[in-house]
Amino acid sequence: MSTDGSASPLESTEEGSHPVIYETENFSVCAYGRPFVSREEGGHIVIAAKHAVSDRTKLTAQQAKEYMRLSMMTGEAMETAMNRQGVPVVKINYADYGNWAFKKKHPSPHLHMHIFGRASDAKTQVFPEAVLLPARESGFYDSFQPLTPDDIKEIRKEISRLEHTDRYDVKYW
């Protein structure tokens, strides 16, 4: 359940449960339940539009600013929080895809951004190599662990701190 009691677009899908970390008017930040980067290798967060929109080119100017601000705060918060949690995240990767929606008979892409923490000591999603993204059914991700409740709490706390800094104050966006 989202923080305002409504359903998040990612909260529960065929990809598992996606706990909500933070929300704005138009987007939800969720810990990805079946991650592409395991928690101990940096973790995986998704920012998804709350309303039907296929890609970033369909956003209003205000929504685009909100999306960029949110992605920057989330990435910065993830790096700080995961390091506090003992995961040596040295880089954040941001990715918009939407390709897998077209594997379905009636594709309906939904705007979302994957945010991957990249740990210096990763063994599977080795940094600085690109994140490997084989088909979900390959079994590659089966042992990957999602962010823990403590990780989510720390990321949420850091986003709350960042949103009150001059850099992320909405009056400058």
Cα(70)–Cα(47) distance, rounded to whole angstroms?
8
The secondary structure of residue 115, as a DSSP letter, is E
CATH of the domain at 145: 3.30.428.10
Which residues span the domain enclosing 94?
A: 12-172
The reported pLDDT for the residue numbered 7 is 43
The reported pLDDT for the residue numbered 98 is 75
6 in any annotated domain: no
Q: Decide the pairing of beta strands 89-95 and 112-119.
A: antiparallel
Phi-psi category of residue 144: left, alpha or beta, with phi > 0 → left and psi -120 to 50 → alpha = beta
**Cβ neighbours, 10 Å, residue 128:** 9
Amino acid, single-letter form, for residue 143: S
Q: What is the largest CA-CA distance in the chain?
A: 46
7 in any annotated domain: no
Cα angle 121-123-125, degrees, rounded to a multiple of 5: 100
- Among 43, 59, 136, 72, which residue's Cα sits nearest to residue 30? 43
5 in any annotated domain: no
3 in any annotated domain: no
45 in any annotated domain: yes
The reported pLDDT for the residue numbered 107 is 74
| Strand ranges inside 8-163, DSSP E | 12-13, 16-17, 20-23, 27-31, 44-49, 89-95, 112-119
4 in any annotated domain: no
Domain count, the chain: 1
153 in any annotated domain: yes
63 in any annotated domain: yes
Per-residue pLDDT of the chain (173 residues; tens, 9 = 90+): 344 444 445 544 555 689 999 999 999 999 999 999 999 999 999 999 999 899 999 999 999 999 999 999 999 999 999 999 999 999 999 999 877 778 777 778 889 999 999 999 999 999 999 999 999 999 999 999 999 999 999 999 999 999 999 999 999 99
